[in-house]
Structure 1
Amino acid sequence: MLKVNPHPDYPPEEGRYLNWSSGVMKNFMLMFSISALALFMLFCGQTSMAAEIALPSPSYKGTVSVEEALKARRTHRSFQSRPLTLKKFSQILWGAYGVTSQRYGSFLKTAPSAGALYPLDIYGVVGEGGVETLSPGVYHFRPENHAIELVKQGDLRAEVARQSLQQMWMAKAPLMLVITGEYNRSSIKYGPRGVTYTHIEAGHVGQNIFLQAEAIGLKAGIVGAFNNQQIIRAMGLSTSHDPLLIMPVGYSD
């Protein structure tokens, strides 16, 4: 079979080298484009109303074992109105999706993520008097800085509960954590399978919230039945952030 040199101006050996180097350059440009787009979506996907609010540093050493937290974990639907401290709010956000280390310039978090792409965001819906020192509103968690930023003002717990098939018990919790997915962050690498990976990751984060809540004396519920578009509207979210789970958090009634 006749072999054709794709680079007739060069000897066959040099032609093979050019083919190899061309392939390397294409792969490099593809990965660079993916990284740039992922960063753009990460930092530009949500518009905040105010500067970031630094959170207290999380604790990495607790008094409740993993086994004890697993045994105690239950889904709760009855909460006291007692406010959370900012420290406990900080701790549960870190436990859910906080940064644990850095590797090769990437942040690694408390939940596993396909390709370490982390397509999720966490929003705290804080009620009136729900978290000490915080005004009521929707707050976006920024794991890389361990900070939050105000997205929308006002106590929106009742509206979120109404758009969750009228599950008004949710509105009694001082805090709701809303987990959203931005599918493009995962699908840009994994295609349609990225949607599945995003949903799997949301489950990991949900369990993290349950266990961290138990470890610091709080309880959590979990809700998956709601009108996605109305939740986006009520909370003032980007339309690319699809709500996946809502988890009311507080002290057990």
Structure 2
Amino acid sequence: MRSDRPTWDDLVWGTEDLDLIWEAFHENSKSTAVDDALPNYVVVDWMTRMKNALPYDAFAAIPLPPVAILPPFRLGLGEAILARQTPRGIAPASMSFAMLAALLFYSYGINRPNEATPFPRPLRNVPSGGALFPLEIYFHARSAVESLAPGLYHYNSEEHCVRRIVNRDLSEELACCLFQPEIVRGAALLVIQTALFRRNTVKYGDRGYRFTLIEAGHVAQNINLVATALGLGVWNVGGFQDRALDRLLGIDGINHSSLYLQAIGEKID
């Protein structure tokens, strides 16, 4: 028998109908048995025409060290999982170019072709809905990263290279985008995940937006574990001003928008 006493939800949210955006999104992105699905040939055509990474061909490519000579991990997988924690602080201590390459490759690098299936996109070090890989990886390096001039860079996983797309230190501009600006000032490296949503939504509709957010979590966890295994500290950052950061990256913030930041440096425990 139903009690007339108010529930916890009644006390917190009230009994009136609320226009909750998160609730509307979750409802609209649910899958059903009657959802329309694109035919495979349409998906294959889209994937064939879609680049694996945004082209920044006007900027010189800086090759990353081959995967075979990336630095060894100090910890095994189980040890890294148990050791991962948000440090009390991080400092912009020196980071080798090979360590940077390891962070980029193991987080979102290509690890094998996909020739045995009708879908032509090569596969990476994270699962991705339909192997569509909607994310792009940018990073801001300060002088603490060996062999790299300060600036904003883009990672091209297919070419295993980076390109410097802004040729100056943006530390203070980036700090102004964060609600905790000291995070940027203490980092040797700031990794920025962005998403081209249409890469996923063309096949999955609103559900593709949900898949994109899930994939960003996969990449972020890889970065956490690789950094921990290399002896580095990571601060995972969701508190930033989206529009300001998008403007700084030169992206429109609608079709292509920032999702997730991670500041990496020497641990201060």
Q: What's the TM-score bracket when you normalise by the shorter of the two chains? A: 0.7 to 0.9
Question: Does the aligned pair in 2 maintain the 1:119–1:198 contact within 8 Å?
Answer: yes
Question: What is the match of residue 140 of structure 2?
Answer: 125
**Mapped partners of 1:32, 1:177: distance in 2:** 31
Matches within 5 A, 1:1-40: 27=39, 30-39=42-51
Distance 1:106 1:250, change over 3 A: same
Question: Does the aligned pair in 2 maintain the 1:77–1:169 contact within 8 Å?
Answer: no
Rg: which structure is higher? 1
Question: Does the aligned pair in 2 maintain the 1:125–1:156 contact within 8 Å?
Answer: yes
- Displacement of 1:60 after TM fit? 8.7
- Displacement of 1:83 after TM fit? 1.9
1:252 counterpart SS class: strand
Deviation string for 1:143-165 (max 9, x for gaps)? 11111011112111222121112
Question: What is the match of residue 123 of structure 2?
Answer: 108
* Greater fraction helix: 1
1:62 counterpart SS class: coil
Larger displacement relative to structure 2 (191-200 or 45-54): 45-54
**Mapped partners of 1:244, 1:147: distance in 2:** 22
Identity of aligned residues (%): 31
Which among 39, 42, 51 is matched to residue 60 of structure 2? 51
**CA RMSD of the aligned region, Å?**
2.1
Question: Does the aligned pair in 2 maintain the 1:49–1:150 contact within 8 Å?
Answer: no
What's the TM-score, normalizing by structure 2?
Answer: 0.77
- Displacement of 1:76 after TM fit? 3.0
Question: Does the aligned pair in 2 maintain the 1:77–1:221 contact within 8 Å?
Answer: no
Question: What is the match of residue 212 of structure 1?
Answer: 226
Matches within 5 A, 1:1-253: 27=39, 30-39=42-51, 42=52, 45=54, 47=56, 49-58=58-67, 59=70, 62-76=73-87, 78-104=89-115, 105-127=120-142, 129-237=143-251, 239=253, 240-253=255-268
1:69 counterpart SS class: helix
Distance 1:65 1:218, change over 3 A: same
1:79 counterpart SS class: strand
What's the TM-score, normalizing by structure 1?
Answer: 0.81
**Mapped partners of 1:83, 1:110: distance in 2:** 26
Question: Does the aligned pair in 2 maintain the 1:156–1:235 contact within 8 Å?
Answer: no
The residue type paired with residue 64 of structure 2 is L
Question: What is the match of residue 33 of structure 2?
Answer: none
Larger displacement relative to structure 2 (115-124 or 63-72): 63-72
2:158 counterpart SS class: helix
**Mapped partners of 1:49, 1:136: distance in 2:** 18
**Mapped partners of 1:190, 1:172: distance in 2:** 39
Question: Does the aligned pair in 1 maintain the 2:48–2:121 contact within 8 Å?
Answer: no
- Displacement of 1:46 after TM fit? 5.2
Question: Does the aligned pair in 1 maintain the 2:47–2:132 contact within 8 Å?
Answer: no
Question: Does the aligned pair in 1 maintain the 2:47–2:121 contact within 8 Å?
Answer: no
**Mapped partners of 2:42, 2:109: distance in 1:** 29
**Mapped partners of 2:92, 2:134: distance in 1:** 32
- Displacement of 1:167 after TM fit? 2.8
- Displacement of 1:35 after TM fit? 2.1
Distance 1:29 1:112, change over 3 A: closer
The residue type paired with residue 73 of structure 1 is R
**Mapped partners of 2:252, 2:155: distance in 1:** 14
- Displacement of 1:80 after TM fit? 2.1
Note the residue ranges of structure 1 that are not aligned, 5 or more in a row. 1-25
